[in-house]
Amino acid sequence: MAQISQRLLLATIFVAVLVAPGVTRAQASSPADTAPQTVGTPTSSVPLPPPSGPLPIPAPALSDKPAGLDFEFFGPDDASRSGPDSAAKVANASELSQKRRHRLGIHQFLGLTTWAFMGASCIVGQLNYNDLYGGGSGRGNYQLPHRLLVYSTAGLFTATGIYSLLAPQPYKKPLKFDSGLVHRIAAIGATAGMVAEVVLGFITARTADSGNSSGIKQMATIHDAVGWTTFGFMTAAGTAWLF
């Protein structure tokens, strides 16, 4: 009996020795296996997966003006031009523009006609000069045609200038170097030449009629040169106006 009890004790100790390591390992691993999974803190080195779905779009900032439409075409004064006064100004400017266009059209027609008459006056005047002072017959066959052409040219030139001065200016135009400025300068030179031409021609004719031959050829030469210079100014004014 004592031997059987001793054998059972040894068997029990042997089984305990075999089972103890497995139980210890199971107890050590069970807390890690059964512990709930948690998301790491920002300091964790494990990267988090990207969130699913589209990212939220921030709401746009509220503004009094629509986005992309805060520009101005006509400057800050455009808003103050609305109303009956603005409509009246536009109608007045349109009327003045029509008058200006009409009168400048007549001015252009008279200017070209004056240029043609001035060219004829210079040619006939040159023939008259050659006949009287350039070794011609001296009969004065070109005097009357030359005077008629000069008087007609002076009248046309005056009418041309009047239509230019009476043309209204609906808009303010800054002074700059362009074809309009060249036309004005040439027209001023033509005006000065035309006045000098009429005065010199009148003095030369009266001196010749009185029979005073002292210095008459020199005055006739100056009159001839001024005539061609005036024609040159008219040509420049017409060219600048057309082109």
Cα–Cα distance measured from residue 121 to residue 126, given in angstroms and rounded to the nearest whole number: 8
Within a domain: 219: yes
117 in a structural domain: yes
Work out the angle at residue 44's Cα, subtended by the Cα atoms of residues 41 and 45, and round it to the nearest 5 degrees: 155
Average pLDDT over residues 213-227: 85
In a domain, 93, yes or no: no
**pLDDT of the residue at 14:** 59
Which of 143, 140, 67, 120 is closest to 228 using CA atoms? 120
Residue 44: pLDDT over 80: no
**Alpha-carbon torsion angle 23, 28, 34, 36, nearest 10:** 170
Radius of gyration, alpha carbons of the chain:
55
- Residue 223 near residue 201, CB atoms below 8 Å: yes
The region of weakest confidence among 8-17, 186-195, 233-242 is 8-17
Task: Give the contacts of 66 (CB within 8 A, at least 6 positions apart).
Answer: none
For residue 117, what are the domain limits? Answer: 99-165+177-242
Tell me the percentage of the chain whose pLDDT exceeds 70: 63
Outline where the chain has alpha helix (H): 2-34, 84-133, 143-165, 179-209, 216-242
Q: Which of 182, 180, 174, 221 is nearest to 200 (CA)?
A: 221
Is the model's pLDDT at 115 over the cut of 70? yes
Cα-based distances in Å from 24 to 12, 13, 174: 18, 16, 104
In a domain, 238, yes or no: yes
Q: What's the pLDDT score for residue 218?
A: 85
Q: What tokens does 8 get? A: 């059972």
Whether residue 54 has pLDDT greater than 80: no
Alpha-carbon span 166 to 171, nearest angstrom: 15
Bigger pLDDT: 228 vs 72: 228
Is 26 a domain residue? no
The arithmetic mean of pLDDT across residues 26-55, rounded, is: 48
Q: Is residue 223 part of a domain?
A: yes
The pLDDT tens digits for 222-235 are 999 999 999 999 99
Cα dihedral 233, 237, 240, 243 sign: negative
Q: Crossing angle, helix 143-165 and helix 84-133, to 10 degrees?
A: 170
Mean pLDDT confidence for 98-113: 90
What tens digit of pLDDT does each residue of 138-161 get? Answer: 788 998 999 999 999 999 999 999
Residues 6+ apart with CB under 8 A from 120: 149
Residue 91 lies in a domain: no
Task: Evaluate whether 219 touches 208 at the Cβ level (below 8 Å).
Answer: no
pLDDT band at 48 (very low <50, low <70, confident <90, very high): low
What integer pLDDT is reported at residue 9 of this predicted model? 62
129 part of a folded domain: yes
Task: Indicate the number of domains in the chain.
Answer: 1
Dist CA 235 CA 30 (whole Å) = 114
